Amino acid sequence: MQSAPVTDMSVAVRVYPLPPQDDDDDGSKRRKRQLPEEIIIFDTETRTDEAQSLLFGSYRVYIAGEFIEEGLFYPEGLSRKELRVLRNYAQTHKPRTALHGVRELRLLKLEDFLKDFYRSAYKGRCLVVAFNHPFDLSRLAYGHVDGRGDFAGGFSLRLWASRDANGVICQNRNRPDIRIRHIDSKRALIQFTSRMTLDEEDAIPDDSETGEVVEGYNHRGHFLDLKTLAFALTDEGHSLASACEAFEVEHGKKRAAQRQAHRKIHRLQSPRCFGYLRTRVQIA
């Protein structure tokens, strides 16, 4: 009797971890981390020169899942024409916020946006969301220094500045830096540094059940990079456009220019430049 031919077959096995139990092995209760109720989603648009300096940015704010606020921000140095385009867009577009939200599209100077960003992201401990955090955060910074300690090989971005007696811009020691160290092209470690003087509430851990200050504790921030999240969910590297396609986003990234236009330096010419704010993402 002739035996059947042997054929090699590749076998793949999918595994998954069991969810943690409420009690640890020693019987103690496991603390459950809660996502912050407030979420800020932001994006930046840059000029097409070598420096890729900030042209304008957009942001949205959600609190407890409700759309509360939307706005644009811009740096110093815009031309009158560019600023006129931003103002016209802000005046003619109304965000569909919740009834108790801000009903107008805000238009802020970068300096004012950073004040709000500090109050929400650092003091308020909200979740900060962007696609490719290292790039977008760097567009907000006025300077940087080399990373130290665990962040050696990375860098610290300085977003908040002050002026000395001679009016020269310098570091604001009462504000944190944001330090970043890349793991690879899709992942990076991101956190706030310490401030010179901590307020008492800054030394209370997020998961504290007593609200007591813990010596040596400093809030490091909550940062979610959608580029990393897309890679974790698909095991593929994605641009913003391909991520929108992969997850079937209703309002994906629009292609606003033809091939030859990519060879040119674009300037703001009409409100249609802002027809799509890339960070319209809702997190359930």
- Give per-residue pLDDT as tens, 130-157: 999 999 999 999 999 999 999 999 999 9
How far apart (Å, rounded) are the C-alpha atoms in residues 62 and 145? 32
Q: Which CATH number belongs to the domain containing residue 55 in this structure?
A: 3.30.420.10
Identify whether 31 is part of a domain. Answer: no
What would the two tokens of residue 1 be?
């009797």
What would the two tokens of residue 122 be?
């650092």
Which carries the bigger pLDDT value, residue 28 or residue 16? 16
Tell me the HSE value of 141 on the side-chain side, using a 13 A CA sphere.
Answer: 19
Identify whether 281 is part of a domain. Answer: no
Identify whether 272 is part of a domain. Answer: no
Identify whether 77 is part of a domain. Answer: yes
What would the two tokens of residue 244 be?
């929108």
How far apart (Å, rounded) are the C-alpha atoms in residues 239 and 253? 10
Percent of the chain that is helix, strand, coil (3-state, to 5):
25, 25, 55
What's the whole-number average pLDDT of the chain? 83
Identify whether 29 is part of a domain. Answer: no
Identify whether 216 is part of a domain. Answer: yes
Q: How far does the chain reach from its first CA to its final CA, in angstroms?
A: 63
Type of residue at 212: E
What pLDDT score does 257 carry?
Answer: 42
Identify whether 210 is part of a domain. Answer: yes
What would the two tokens of residue 68 be?
């509360």
Percent of the chain residues topping a pLDDT of 90: 54
- Give per-residue pLDDT as tens, 158-204: 999 888 778 788 888 899 999 999 999 899 999 999 888 888 888 88
Beta-strand runs (E) in 64-187: 66-74, 106-109, 127-130, 143-146, 155-158, 161-163, 169-171, 178-182
Structural domain containing residue 52: 38-266
Question: Are 151 and 179 a contacting pair, CB within 8 Å?
Answer: yes
What would the two tokens of residue 41 be?
């989603």
What would the two tokens of residue 108 be?
């802020």
What is the pTM for the complete model shown?
A: 0.77
> Which region among 41-55, 80-94, 137-151, 164-178 has the lowest average model confidence (pLDDT)?
164-178
Contacts of residue 145, Cβ cutoff 8 Å, sequence gap at least 6: 155, 156, 158, 177
Average of per-residue pLDDT across 62-85: 95
Polymer length of the chain: 284
- Give per-residue pLDDT as tens, 203-227: 888 888 888 998 888 889 999 999 9
Considering its fold, how many domains does the chain have in total? 1
Partner residues linked to 144 by β-bridges = 157
Identify whether 8 is part of a domain. Answer: no
